[in-house]
A and B are shown apart, each in its own frame.
Chain A
Amino acid sequence: MSLNLLFDTSAYSNLRKGNKELESLLADVSQIYMPVVVIAELEYGFLNGSRYDANHVELERFLSQSFVQTIAIESVELTHVFAELKLVCKKAGKVLSEHDLWIAALAKTTGYELVTCNQDFAVLDTILLSKLHIF
């Protein structure tokens, strides 16, 4: 079965690092979707580092792959899902970053399978319509 995966920042970072479980998931991948907030977070991290140019070029190369697509936050429905997920977190007494809530909202509205190494997302596991891969 070909997978449509939605990456968060930790997925990109850990794939680069060489996470074997994450790597094995790519054997069945059809498309990798990179939310714009993930790209923004990575760029912010790179700007704080000492190898901005190299990291930026590497990210650009990653994004230029035919099976990698950026995905924007641009619909009213998405804002509704964002609010819904935020309330779920509040009621559960769990806190996610605002960017992570947008990423989760994208996963729910598109049906793409969220890939992350961030345990914070576990609170939304039963809420998302698609599978959640936490490594």
Chain B
Amino acid sequence: MNTKQYTIRNIPYHLDQRLRKRARLSGKSLNQIVLEDIASQNNTSLTAQPNTVLKNLDWFVGSGPLEADVLQALEEDDKAQKELMRREFESTI
């Protein structure tokens, strides 16, 4: 991929801290975070043009629901977690 290099000056301290925090939280480099922001503000992306995402997922999108036993396990897991949370809330009122 053909790329260019920019040097950006006068970045305010608070913006620098915000960008670094997002980089840390997302596990990405600071450079990647800034690149993504620039791409987003310019209505484009670094990795794929918007309409290619669906094309690249055509094998997956609409291929059918997960099996009933899988969905049941997911639902039961969700219910169990929520029940634990409900009990915790009730016990600390």
Contact = CB atoms under 8 A, between A and B. Distances in A.
Main secondary structure of the interface of B (DSSP, over half): helix
Contacts of B27: 71-72, 74
A57 B57 CA distance: 14
Contacts of B63: 16, 18
Bin chain A's interface residue count: 35 or more
Contacts of A78: 25
Contacts, number: 143
B57 A65 contact: yes
B6 interface: no
Contacts of A62: 57, 60
B89 A90 contact: yes
Interface size class for chain B?
A: 35 or more
B73 A95 contact: no
A98 B79 CA distance: 11
Interface of B: 21-22, 24-27, 36, 39-40, 43-48, 50-51, 53-54, 56-57, 59-67, 69-74, 77-78, 81-82, 84-86, 89, 92
Interface of A: 1-2, 4, 9, 13, 15-18, 23, 26-33, 41-42, 44-51, 55, 58, 61-62, 65-67, 71-72, 74-75, 77-78, 86, 89-90, 95-100, 109-111, 120
18 contacts: A1-B40, A18-B63, A26-B54, A27-B54, A30-B39, A30-B45, A30-B46, A30-B48, A44-B74, A50-B67, A50-B69, A51-B70, A66-B48, A75-B24, A77-B25, A95-B82, A110-B25, A120-B82
